[in-house]
Amino acid sequence: MRTRVKICGITREEDAQAAVRYGSDAIGLVFYPSSPRYVAAAPAARIAAALPPFVSSVGLFVDATPGEVEAILAQVHLDILQFHGSETAEECRRYGMPYMKAVRVRHDTNLLQYAAQYHDARALLLDAYLPGMAGGTGIVFDWGLIPEQFPLPIVLAGGLNPDNVADAIRQVHPYAVDVSGGVEQAKGIKDAAKVAAFMQGVQNAAL
Ligand SMILES: O=C(O)c1ccccc1N[C@@H]1O[C@H](COP(=O)(O)O)[C@@H](O)[C@H]1O
């Protein structure tokens, strides 16, 4: 099965269209005001509405209040929610929508315990741990910390780029890869050539 791709941190319609053009399966919209990739509801709604069929819109939240999430859901079409903070499973479930839970991996992280806790998540998204940062760090974590047998689909994130994504896929065999900084020209602004190279890297993993 082909490894799925999510390009995260989209703030402009042209970047979403470039992601789609080069074959991305999903785009991520960051509703975390502290992020340099934050996108407000109105432009996010336009970006999501312009996606073609079968390309998913993912809404990324970091410890948002229910009211904040509901306000976005009322304005933006989202296919799946990505919780990237310290949300409990109950908090992730409360919207009745498919969700992914991000786990920031360090040497002592018990990933199987997370998989049990978030057993109804569509996937666990594994990202690098960096104190003081919720995500989007551009840092690669030790993929050897991921158990070979895992009960949930894995979305691999953290410092992926056109040069390392094929190795990442060959080593981890994730359901999907997720990239933000590795395909940017500036924070929140994607580089179409890097997006194309990233997608080529994903294809190369299968060769
Ligand atoms: O992109 C952000 O600014 C961000 C902020 C807070 C939480 C998550 C964020 N992004 C997610 O981080 C990972 C890895 O990003 P990168 O490729 O290392 O830049 C990815 O899942 C983004 O969705």
Residue-wise pLDDT for 68-98, tens only, equals 999 999 999 999 999 999 999 999 999 999 9
Instruction: Report pTM.
Output: 0.97
Mutate to test the pocket of ligand 1, among 7, 80, 84, 164 (most ligand atoms within 8 A of CB): 84
For each of the domains in the chain, give its residue range(s) and CATH number, in order of start.
4-204 (3.20.20.70)
> CA angle 103-70-134, nearest 5°?
25
Question: Ligand 1 centroid to 100 CA: how many Å?
Answer: 13
Determine if ligand 1 sits within 6 Å of the CB of residue 179: yes
Residue nearest to atom 4 of ligand 1 (CA): 136
Residue-wise pLDDT tens digits, 168-191: 999 999 999 999 999 999 999 999
Instruction: State yes or no: is 92 an active-site residue.
Output: no
Determine if ligand 1 sits within 6 Å of the CB of residue 152: no
Q: What is the DSSP letter of 22?
A: T
Determine if ligand 1 sits within 6 Å of the CB of residue 59: no
Pair 197, 162: CB distance under 8 Å: yes
Question: What average pLDDT does the segment 5-18 reach?
Answer: 98
Residue-wise pLDDT tens digits, 19-47: 999 999 999 999 999 999 999 999 999 99
* Residue 136 pLDDT level (bands cut at 50, 70, 90): confident
Could you report the predicted ipTM of this complex, rounded to two decimals?
Answer: 0.97
